[in-house]
């Protein structure tokens, strides 16, 4: 089974409404029907407008950067999956290291969010990864295994097969430091082995695993060329149309 190759951009808390529309339009205009899937993870205020812009490109979609685990309720300032879906997003980024660190999102909460997203027939892009201390201690595979077990491995095989995994070495996010292509490959291969142990080779071989750690035009081709790396979750380089398009073209 050929896995889907994906270039996903995470704009984080950047670009006002006008700037976001301009960026989305430039990316849409620079793509063609032969490209692999690209996903724009935009601020919630931009989802509806950007969804309208990307409609003309069959392989360009929109993701929300987060959601609440409840379907509705008295949660002032939060955004439900139903709201996200109603304005055109098809994907939701969950478990990003910044959400884990700054907003104390733990395994149990993320499991609930995964359930809610899947229940509304949207696709989670589930982030996992280790900080520098864990990497230096050599326990990074065990650390990621715990994240997957506690937030995803309750899912049945059919549900899990809809998940996209994004491995993000936290020590390489926004630091300018990038895991070497071999480091990325080794971890992606280890994650795929964990999935195979739980769900079998067919599901593991069909799961897209993205690399998220300072992907740039200069290194994307080599990283994406690794056998178990199926694309990237791109931060800073997704904020410039020319850079993100070059990354999309890197497959």
Q: Report, as residue numbers or ranges, the catalytic residues.
A: 96, 168
Torsion of CA 68, 39, 111, 236, to 10 degrees: -80
68 Cα distance to chain centroid: 17
Residue where the block lists tokens 């959601």: 67
Quote the CA–CA distance of 93 and 161 in Å, as a whole number. 16
210 closest CA partner among 186, 236, 183, 184: 184
With tokens 């509304």, the residue in question is 120
In sign, the C-alpha dihedral spanning 125, 150, 152, 81 is negative
Residue 173's closest CA among 224, 212, 133? 212
Coil vs helix vs strand at 30: helix
Q: How far apart are CA 84 and CA 149, in angstroms?
A: 26
Residues 97 and 6: their CA atoms lie apart, in Å, by 20
Q: For residue 80, give both structure tokens.
A: 């439900």
């Amino acid at each position: 089974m050929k896995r889907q190759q994906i270039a996903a951009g995470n704009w984080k808390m950047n670009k006002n409404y006008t700037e976001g529309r301009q960026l989305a339009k430039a990316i849409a205009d620079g793509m063609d029907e032969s490209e692999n899937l690209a996903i724009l993870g935009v601020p919630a205020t931009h989802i509806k407008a950007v969804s309208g812009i990307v409609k003309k490109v069959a392989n360009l979609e929109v993701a929300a950067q987060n959601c609440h685990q409840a379907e509705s309720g008295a949660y002032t300032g939060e955004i439900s999956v139903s709201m996200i879906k109603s304005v055109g997003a098809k994907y939701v980024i969950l478990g990003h290291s910044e959400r884990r660190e700054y907003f104390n999102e733990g395994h149990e909460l993320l499991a609930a969010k995964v359930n809610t997203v899947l229940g509304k027939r949207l696709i989670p892009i589930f982030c996992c990864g280790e900080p520098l201390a864990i990497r230096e201690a050599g326990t990074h595979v065990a650390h990621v295994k715990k994240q997957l077990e506690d937030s995803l491995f309750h899912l049945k095989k059919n549900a899990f097969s809809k998940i996209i995994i994004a491995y993000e070495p936290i020590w390489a996010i926004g630091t300018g430091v990038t895991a070497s292509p071999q480091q990325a490959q080794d971890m992606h291969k280890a994650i795929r082995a964990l999935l195979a142990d739980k769900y079998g080779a067919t599901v593991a071989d069909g799961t897209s695993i993205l690399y998220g750690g300072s992907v740039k035009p200069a290194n994307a081709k080599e990283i994406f060329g690794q056998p178990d790396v199926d694309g990237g979750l791109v931060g800073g380089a997704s904020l410039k149309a020319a850079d993100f398009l070059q990354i999309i073209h890197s497959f």
